[in-house]
Amino acid sequence: MAKMKRLADQEDALVTVTPPLSKEELKNRNKDYDNLPPKKFATKYKALLFLPVEFTVNGKSHEIQYNFCANPFCKWHGLQQKKFSTKGKRSRYRLSGSDGRKRLKCNSDPIAPTIGMTHNCYNEIYSNWSIAEEISRLRRIESVVEVEPEYQFHKDNCSMNGITPTEEPKNFYRQGKSKVGAQVWQCKTCMKKTNLLPTKRKSTTYHQQRSEILPLFMKLLLGRNPVTRTCEILDIGRGTYYEKLELLYQRCLEFLDKYERKPLLNKEFNELWLNTDGMVYYLNNVRQKGQGGSKYDGMEDSKFPTEIIVTAEGLTRYVFRADIAYDWDITLGEIASDTFFNKEDHLSEFAKRHGRFGDYSHYPIPPTKNDTQTESDYHYEVAQFDRRDQYVNGFHVGSTYTTIAHYWLIKQLVKASEWRFITDKSHSLMTSLYRVFAKEFRLTEAHHFLSQTDKTKSRKIAYNEFKQAKIDLIEWGLYKGYNTRSLRKLAFLQLTELFQHHHFHEDMTDGTHKYRVHANHSIQHPLATVDRGFRAVDCTTDLSSYEPEEIANLIMEVNDNATNSFIQLVRRKISILERPLVTARGDKKSYIYSNFNPRYAQYAATILRTYYNFCKKYRSGDKRELTPAQRLGITDKQFTIQDIIYQR
């Protein structure tokens, strides 16, 4: 029988990250901290740059190390650091750049310089430890765990103390069922009665007042109703509103665990198209209770741009994840404790546990005798941290850290033989892909495509381009003598002809051997859209082994409709994530409905994702109305809001 569940928290340790620090290194750090200048200290303790970090997820061990070349055309792409047994003991990579802008540079190959080519690539470097912590965070916020209550079946002086009904039921009376359908046991010796928690099937309203409002609450939430308006309609207070929002989020996670996670773990795709995009919303940065008034000097920005990373399947529009790059559980005390214990204020970002928090990756520590920081700089940093502590709990996470963790979790969830990725020209998205799926790119089991549109176009210009694209295709087909007016077929034929001579890569030579590089030779997709007109399409990976017809087939599927339709729905359906309003004056933007706690934005996005995937039908080119989950093949029915809430 299914037990009652609750949202996972930090104490549940669903993902256990093994700190990559030995006791010996910590001892040496403590000894050198006061004696070495920060630059020398950071140089001495830079081993974490290439050190794999181990962690366990549900008892299964994993290891990550993502500081390597992220250029798919470079021979070092995806390969770990290595020292060669040659004169000078050269290595694959070296650190390059100033202290504040260190990057990883690819060295040439001293062993086999004529096989493949390194491109002197410069790659951003990240904290593997912090990536593992971000994976842990994303896994935790999407999980529910069973409630394990501690029952007291006997009075303190009972001679049967320690014996339970499960072990020896003959020592207990069955006293029927409670109001919520749970078994009641009574000790035969001390006569103490104990109510068990109900099973999930027995009661979906346990400890819930006004449980009847949940279906309407979900409709109002997804109907762009502000918090105040929803409270007025349902006659509830704001506290109840957020309690119901959290309960609804929990029910969605339980639903996804049954109807998404389990089916996907048992399914394998021959080819999977993943379309990823980022959406920025503005978090209202408000002071915490008791932190206002004139006695608190200094103000932070009132608007915080906060990014949501969304990945959807390109052909079915099924949204796999929507993650907010914000950690609302981290506290200033945790960062201060780790800074002091690990001496992280004198380390590079890639060696810090909290490197993903950028400027807040370490807490300021008073300058040491050999420190290059002045007392005034130290006090300024402390003031910055103290001021931040007065506002919304938590810190923004670097979008690349969230994206890497986002992709890693999708890779564990979904199995595919061939991977196809579509993004815009976002460095964060591209470098994350090239790291998490490095093996697949090296084996040519994965390819990455760019789809870019000019977002400054007016709808009128976009519509005119759409009409002109149809005219041009039909005229081209008549000129070529094709007996069809199908725009899709004509576009395929036009692309096949184009790829007889057009390549997304360029052949180069250094005088001794040839190699390939990405050429930045984007093309205009022959099929324009009504709302955005023409789009530019490119491929950043090597397609030289494909025939023109095969490349044309791939390019025909390149678009960002999957993420765009979901993000537009987020803007239209969820009040706290909608676009800003224009003020009455007309010269400024108002974020009056914006949320002040990113936790609730994550809740709302997940609730919408569940509804969108399993309840919302759409009609596609095959003339069938199906939900994204039905199209993906993980369910054969359309669910309702009641199915998600009550799971009967």
| List of residues 6+ apart from 369 with CB closer than 8 A | 34
| List of residues 6+ apart from 139 with CB closer than 8 A | 14, 15, 57, 409
Shared domain for 120 and 173, answered yes or no, is: no
Shared domain for 99 and 160, answered yes or no, is: no
> Which structure tokens are listed for 139?
């896994």
Q: Is 59 exposed, middle or buried (0-12, 13-18, 19+ CB in 10 A)?
A: exposed
Backbone angles phi, psi at 250, to 5 degrees: -60, -45
Is 605 contained in some domain? no
What is the structure's pLDDT at 1?
Answer: 46
Could you tell me where the DSSP H helices lie in 260-398? 262-265, 332-342, 375-388
- Residue 117: pLDDT over 90: no
Instruction: Count how many domains the chain has.
Output: 3
Q: What is the pTM of this model?
A: 0.90
Is 184 contained in some domain? yes
Shared domain for 160 and 116, answered yes or no, is: no
What is the structure's pLDDT at 296?
Answer: 46
Shared domain for 553 and 485, answered yes or no, is: yes
Mind listing the pLDDT tens digit for each residue in 534-575? Answer: 999 999 999 999 999 999 999 999 999 999 999 999 988 888
Taking alpha carbons only, the member of 70, 65, 64, 66 closest to residue 105 is 70
Shared domain for 510 and 469, answered yes or no, is: yes
Q: How confident is the model at residue 511 (pLDDT cuts 50, 70, 90)?
A: confident
Is 476 contained in some domain? yes
Shared domain for 75 and 117, answered yes or no, is: yes
**Domain stop point among 168, 195, 222:** 195
Is 117 contained in some domain? yes
Mean pLDDT of 133-137: 96
What is the structure's pLDDT at 315?
Answer: 93
Is 11 contained in some domain? no
- What one-character DSSP code corresponds to residue 83? B
What is the structure's pLDDT at 162?
Answer: 83
Is 76 contained in some domain? yes
Greatest CA span in the chain, whole angstroms? 98
Shared domain for 545 and 460, answered yes or no, is: yes
**Domain stop point among 172, 195, 218:** 195
What is the structure's pLDDT at 278?
Answer: 94
Mean of the per-residue pLDDT values of the chain = 88
Mind listing the pLDDT tens digit for each residue in 31-49? Answer: 999 999 999 999 999 999 9
Mean pLDDT of 23-29: 93
- CB count, 10 Å around CB of 39? 12
Shared domain for 83 and 171, answered yes or no, is: no
Mind listing the pLDDT tens digit for each residue in 55-97? Answer: 999 889 999 999 999 999 999 999 999 998 877 778 999 998 8
Q: DSSP readout, 99-147?
A: GGG-EEEEPP-SS-TTSS-----EE----HHHHHHHHHHHHHHT-EEE-
Mean pLDDT of 230-258: 92
Is 640 contained in some domain? no
What is the structure's pLDDT at 593?
Answer: 58
Is 351 contained in some domain? no
**Domain stop point among 513, 529, 559:** 559
Give the C-alpha distances (Å, rounded to integers) separating 104 from 70, 80, 123: 10, 12, 5
- CB count, 10 Å around CB of 595? 23
Q: How confident is the model at residue 613 (pLDDT cuts 50, 70, 90)?
A: very high
Shared domain for 459 and 546, answered yes or no, is: yes
What is the structure's pLDDT at 496?
Answer: 95
What is the structure's pLDDT at 208?
Answer: 62
What is residue 277's three-state secondary structure? strand
Shared domain for 467 and 551, answered yes or no, is: yes
Mind listing the pLDDT tens digit for each residue in 351-395? Answer: 999 999 998 999 999 998 888 888 898 998 888 888 887 777 889
Residue 444 to residue 77: CA distance in whole angstroms = 12
Q: How confident is the model at residue 201 (pLDDT cuts 50, 70, 90)?
A: low
Shared domain for 462 and 547, answered yes or no, is: yes
- Residue 148: pLDDT over 90: no
Shared domain for 485 and 541, answered yes or no, is: yes
**Containing domain of residue 165, as a range?**
152-195
Mind listing the pLDDT tens digit for each residue in 283-301? Answer: 766 556 555 554 444 455 5
